[in-house]
Amino acid sequence: MRCRMKGQASCIARLFALVWVPILLLLLLLPLLCSFYHHHHHHNHHHHYYYYYCY
């Protein structure tokens, strides 16, 4: 019973990691992507949502 619970806990932790790691990576990479976007697409003003998202 104890081993089962431990296994279940690790499984939940693994699922949690699978869900949250990409989200955290996206949040960390977002400013870099925004700066990249702003540096290379200053003349392009079609994607207004980018500006709202980045500032």
Element (H, E) at 50: helix 48-54
pLDDT digit string (tens) for 9-27?
888 888 989 999 989 998 8
Number of domain units in the chain: 1
**pLDDT confidence of residue 9:** 85
* CB of 50 closer than 8 Å to CB of 37: yes
**pLDDT confidence of residue 21:** 92
Q: Dig out the tokens for 28 from the structure.
A: 């960390």
Residue-number span of the structural domain to which 42 is assigned: 2-54
Q: Which residue has the higher pLDDT, 21 or 54?
A: 21
Q: Computed over its alpha carbons, how large is the radius of gyration of the chain?
A: 19
Structure pTM? 0.43
Q: Distance between CA atoms of 7 and 12, rounded to whole angstroms?
A: 9
